[in-house]
Amino acid sequence: MTMYFQSVVIPVKTGNKQAFLDMANKMSSIFAEHGATRSVECWGDDLMDGKVTDFRKAVQATDEETVVFSWDCWPDKAAYDAAMKKLMADDRMKPDGSMPFDGRRLIYGAFETSLDTGGGSRFGYLDGMVASVPDSSRQKFVDDAAKMATLFQEKGARRLVNGWGVDVPSGKVTDFRRAVQAKDGETVIVGWIEWPDKPTRDRGMGELMQDQRMRETPPAWNGQLAIFGGFTPIHDTAHA
């Protein structure tokens, strides 16, 4: 059975971190009632600045905002679709007051897992990634991800996940496709790398940048338009 997940990128007012956490606790509990197997929220820490696009530009984050990268896991697409219908009718999903973020700039989408190395143990740091891949290159994307996963795990990564966009809606202000300037005939992908802690991540990334094998497999996506960033987990229902 292929895991299915919804990924969300949110511009949260930095001063509203606790209010956001309170809301995340409430929402993840409701999601679990409707079949979600795990909900994770990660607070932006080391977000790469891109000339064209990046995580902050993706949601038009201001200097007073921090970008949150999150996901909710479901057993499969059927379970996710059924849950979304129920959640839309659940009065508990309505905000109790003002939102701790601007929902108009929140971007989300649903993804079918194309790589999951497994090992969903507790992690202390995460690298997130969003990109787009030509539809004709899906198998290359899958094959390349498996090769890269081996290298990252050699350097200390605990788990790698990549998802292929299945339901990526358009937004009025921004969305996943606009975040990476995806063209017609391209699909948005979302992925993440779980590390035990930031020092292991920093050391591992440094070693990977010097590893010749990283240059032997050109990525299937447009690297100039891919966005990357480091995040600290702040909420994880698997290890509450």
At 64-106, the pLDDT tens digits run: 999 999 999 999 999 999 999 999 898 888 877 788 999 999 9
Residue 32 sits in a domain whose CATH number is 3.30.70.100
Q: Do 130 and 180 form a contact (C-beta atoms < 8 A)?
A: yes
Query: Which residues face 167 on adjacent strands?
Result: 110
Classified as helix, coil or strand, 142 is helix
Q: Can you give the pLDDT at residue 157?
A: 96
Q: What is the mean pLDDT of each run of 10 residues along the chain (240 residues)?
A: 86 96 94 95 95 95 97 94 92 84 95 89 94 95 91 95 95 95 96 97 94 83 91 92
Q: Can you give the pLDDT at residue 2?
A: 57
Q: How far apart are CA 197 and CA 57, in angstroms?
A: 26
Classified as helix, coil or strand, 146 is helix
Total domain count, the chain: 1
Q: Can you give the pLDDT at residue 240?
A: 72
Tens-place pLDDT, residues 99-133: 899 999 999 999 999 999 987 678 999 999 999 99
Show the beta-strand stretches assigned E in the chain: 4-13, 38-47, 65-74, 107-116, 125-134, 159-167, 186-195, 227-236
Domain that holds residue 83: 4-239
Rounded to the nearest angstrom, the gap between the alpha carbon of residue 18 and the centroid of all alpha carbons in its chain is: 21
pTM to 2 decimals?
0.94
Q: Do 228 and 48 form a contact (C-beta atoms < 8 A)?
A: yes
